[in-house]
Amino acid sequence: MADVRSDVLVIIPTYNEADNIGKLIDELMSRYPHHLDVLVIDDNSPDATADIVRTQKKRYGDRLHLLERERKQGLGTAYIAGFRYGLQRGYAFLAEMDADYSHDPAALEQMLQEARHYDLVIGSRYINNTVNVVNWPLARLVLSKTASMYTR
């Protein structure tokens, strides 16, 4: 497969996401075959998340990138590292996505369409006052909704 450079970089921080990361990468790459690149930022996951990404890299070449960090540094610093990575390499659009499927890969296309007309596009799992997540325990839902209301 020839390496094709995209103008979109999807940033995915990981820690112990071996169960999800391979499937998510495959879904993004098949859904958007020449439309985006993916950067996985792994915080030294003990479950071999980075090994799965390295294996996927053989299939996707320069469309898949891996940034391995020596220790768990947290979600916020992973996103900062990803934004820095994307800006330094000249990507026009940066998207962030969780590896646990709490962000729907199918929603990315509409967000990218909107991003061509605006400086910033923000998605929410709380559209129309409903919760659009699956397989979350009640405590996580309450925490997430409360944090969303607080930041608003």
Q: Where are the domains of the chain?
A: 8-121
Residue pLDDT, tens place only, 44-87:
999 999 999 999 999 999 999 999 998 888 888 999 999 999 99
pLDDT at 143: 67
pLDDT at 3: 42
Residue pLDDT, tens place only, 93-126:
999 998 888 788 888 888 888 888 888 887 766 6
Cα 26 from Cα 117, distance rounded (Å): 28
CATH of domain 8-121: 3.90.550.10
| 41 in Cβ contact with 14 (< 8 Å) | yes
pLDDT at 115: 85
Average the pLDDT over each of 5-9, 16-20, 45-49, 94-98 and give the range with the smallest value: 5-9
